[in-house]
Amino acid sequence: MTDTNSNISNSNVRGETSMDCPLIGRIVLGELDLPLMRPTTPAALANLVRDAAQTQTAVYPVGGRTRTRLGRLPEKPGTAIDMTALDAVIDYPSADMTITVQTGITIAKLAKILAEKGQRLPIDSIDPEKETIGGLIATNASGPRRLGHGTLRDYVIGIKYLNDQGEEAKAGGRVVKNVAGYDLCKLQTGALGTLGILTEVTFKLRPVPEARAIVLLHCFAANLQAAAHAVHGSSTRPVSVDVLNPRASLALFQNGLVNPDPGHTELNGWYIAVGFEENGPATRWQVETLTQEMSLWKPTTLQDGKEEAFWQALTSLGQHWPGSNLSTDVPITLKATARASDVHYVLTKANELGAEGRVTGHLENGIARVHFPGDTPVEKIQEYTAKLRGLALERGGNLVVESGSPSHLKAVVVWGEPRADHEVARRVHREMDPLKIFNPGRFLPGT
């Protein structure tokens, strides 16, 4: 770190460390080395925001810090705020199937509390032990089961956040149906913390399904489209339809979870994983039916907990690379989108272009992800990203770099091609964070 950086960051910690807001260390965000404060009360958090407003500096909330490196690089010195002390359950009227929590709570802790009542928030996440609800909402994270259950925007029914004055503001409420006021729950979800610091959220919940299973199908690049088409035409109603290229399959199967083709150690070909969650009879019927409908594609069934482990492993597929040093090598993840009917094309091209990439996709949602190890050369990622973005754009989609080291992120267009509504988005941001206090620089250019 250069002198200038640390000078700037020191000068912003006005109150220095205090009982309800200790300075717990420093953190590097992008190329800034920032003091890391850990407020233990909402009031202390609000003070930090007010300080930032007064000193024209910035605040960078962090949760589980699983993804603090993503997005564009922070552009303004300030304070990083560790949100994990604010992790209380405010209210859990389980019979109403809603819960209100502070946003520093981890996904795993929340899931455990809900499971005791047979309930859940059906959102897949990469690293539930570490990730916080705040981070999840800010990044609008999702996984395979978004096909059946939707994404966070379908579950956040109330939200509290700190605005640029350090005032707590809210939208929505604690009931499952409510149209009073503008739906800032939607606006804040996926805003990467650029419109305020999320402090509290109310979710509507779902019951844990009685039964689940995944049917794995095998195909090759050449007949991926045909297989995808056949699954689309199935009379079953899957909650997830995912595809894995040979490298992704290998990575997933090698961890011992499952090997659908035990005769072969060198796995080849692609796999499609079709998931079901329903009551017992409906799940059984769907597994049987899909197995019959897709008998040409070597169906095998995962159940008894293996399906859950599969979904989890698939969601975090970009995280683990043999021989890579996680503390220095930040894995690289690209997400390309397209119409669902075209995504097979993006997937096979992604596979051809970048041989060492793990390519996966949510087939029915038109989403493809490519994961590379963190030591992949910058120029390679740059070239690859540009090519893949071109392909995605031709098919009505876009490409976002979801993870990468600062040197990788600096070399690429992180948030893809600006959308048609870019100017409106900037106006919204200008109204809600005129001083650029919240995560400045990390999201869309201009926010």
Partner 1 sequence: MDAKILDQLRAVVGPAGMITNDSELLVYECDGFTIERNKPEVVVFPNDTAQVSRIVKICHQAKVPFLPRGAGTSLAGGCLPIGGGVVISLARMKRIWEVDSRNRFAVVDPGLVNVWLTNQIKSSGWHFAPDPSSQGACTIGGNVATNSGGPHTLKYGVTVNHILGVEMVLPDGEIVMLGGPVEDSPGYDLTGVTVGSEGTFGVACRSWVRITRNPHGYRTLLGVFETVDDATEAISGIIAAGIVPAALELLDSLILRAVEEAFGFGFPLDAGAVLIMEVDGIEAGLDEEASRIEEIAKKARAREIRRADTEAQRLLLWKCRKQAFGAVGRLAPSYCTQDGVVPRTRLPEMLRTIRSISEKYQIKIANVFHAGDGNLHPILLFDERDSEQVKKVLDASTEILDACLSMGGSVTGEHGIGVEKISFMPKLFSPADLGMFARLRKAFNPDGLCSPGKMLPTAGACNEAGHVHTDGAHAPNKPGRRAAL
Ligand X SMILES: Cc1cc2nc3c(=O)[nH]c(=O)nc-3n(C[C@H](O)[C@H](O)[C@H](O)COP(=O)(O)OP(=O)(O)OC[C@H]3O[C@@H](n4cnc5c(N)ncnc54)[C@H](O)[C@@H]3O)c2cc1C
Name the residue nearer to ligand X (CB basis): 142 or 348: 142
Question: Does 184 participate in binding ligand X (rule CB under 6 A)?
Answer: no
Q: How far is the CB of 101 from ligand X (least distance, A)?
A: 11
Residue 106, C-beta contacts closer than 8 angstroms, at least 6 positions apart: 64, 84, 87, 128, 129, 130, 131, 132, 133
Q: Which does 57 bind (CB under 5 to 8 A by kind): partner 1, ligand X, none?
A: none
Q: Which does 101 bind (CB under 5 to 8 A by kind): ligand X, partner 1, none?
A: none
* Residues 285-314 within binding reach of partner 1 (CB under 8 A): 285-286
Question: Does 209 participate in binding ligand X (rule CB under 6 A)?
Answer: no
* Residue span 139-168 as binding mask against partner 1, x where in contact by CB under 8 A, dash where not: -x---------x--xx--------x-x-xx
Among 60, 270, 415, 438, binds partner 1 (CB under 8 A): 415
Q: Which does 189 bind (CB under 5 to 8 A by kind): ligand X, partner 1, none?
A: partner 1
* Distances 19 to 22, 201, 434 between C-alpha atoms, Å: 6, 26, 31
From 138-146, 225-233, 353-361, 387-395, span contacting ligand X (CB under 6 A): 138-146
Name the residue nearer to ligand X (CB basis): 58 or 227: 58
Q: Which does 306 bind (CB under 5 to 8 A by kind): partner 1, ligand X, none?
A: none
Q: How far is the CB of 3 from ligand X (least distance, A)?
A: 26
Question: Does 232 participate in binding partner 1 (rule CB under 8 A)?
Answer: yes
Among 32, 34, 138, 332, binds ligand X (CB under 6 A): 138
Name the residue nearer to ligand X (CB basis): 292 or 328: 328
Q: Which does 355 bind (CB under 5 to 8 A by kind): ligand X, partner 1, none?
A: none
Q: How far is the CB of 186 from partner 1 (least distance, A)?
A: 3
Question: Does 122 participate in binding partner 1 (rule CB under 8 A)?
Answer: no
Question: Does 113 participate in binding partner 1 (rule CB under 8 A)?
Answer: no
* Residue span 168-207 as binding mask against partner 1, x where in contact by CB under 8 A, dash where not: xxxx-xxxxxxxxxxxx-xx-xxx---x----------xx
* Residues 113-132 within binding reach of ligand X (CB under 6 A): 125-126, 130-132
Name the residue nearer to partner 1 (CB basis): 160 or 247: 160
Question: Does 423 participate in binding partner 1 (rule CB under 8 A)?
Answer: yes
* Residues 28-87 within binding reach of ligand X (CB under 6 A): 60-68, 70-71, 83
Q: Which does 136 bind (CB under 5 to 8 A by kind): partner 1, ligand X, none?
A: ligand X
Over the chain, what HEC string results? CCHHHHHHHHHHCCCCCECCECEEEEEEECCEEEEEECCCCHHHHHHHHHHHHHHCCEEEEECCCCCCCCCCCCCCCEEEEECCCCCCEEECCHHHCEEEEECCCEHHHHHHHHHCCCEECCCCCCCCCCCEHHHHHHHCCCCCCHHHHCCHHHCEEEEEEECCCCCEEEEECCCCCCCCCCCHHHHHCCCCCCCCEEEEEEEECEECCCEEEEEEEEECHHHHHHHHHHHHCCCCCCCEEEEECHHHHHHHHHCCCCCCCCCCCCCCCEEEEEEEEECHHHHHHHHHHHHHHCHHHCCEEECCCHHHHHHHHHHCCCCCCCCCCCCCCCCEEEEEECCHHHHHHHHHHHHHHCCCCEEEEEHHHCEEEEEECCCCCHHHHHHHHHHHHHHHHHCCCCEEEEECCHHHHHHCCCCCCCCCCHHHHHHHHHHHCCCCCECCCCCCCCC
Question: Does 19 participate in binding partner 1 (rule CB under 8 A)?
Answer: no
Among 9, 139, 189, 376, binds ligand X (CB under 6 A): 139
Question: Does 198 participate in binding ligand X (rule CB under 6 A)?
Answer: yes
* Residues 335-394 within binding reach of ligand X (CB under 6 A): none
* Residues 206-225 within binding reach of partner 1 (CB under 8 A): 206-208
Long-range contacts formed by 288-291: CB under 8 A, 24+ apart: 289/234, 289/235, 289/236, 290/215, 290/231, 290/234, 290/236, 290/238, 291/215
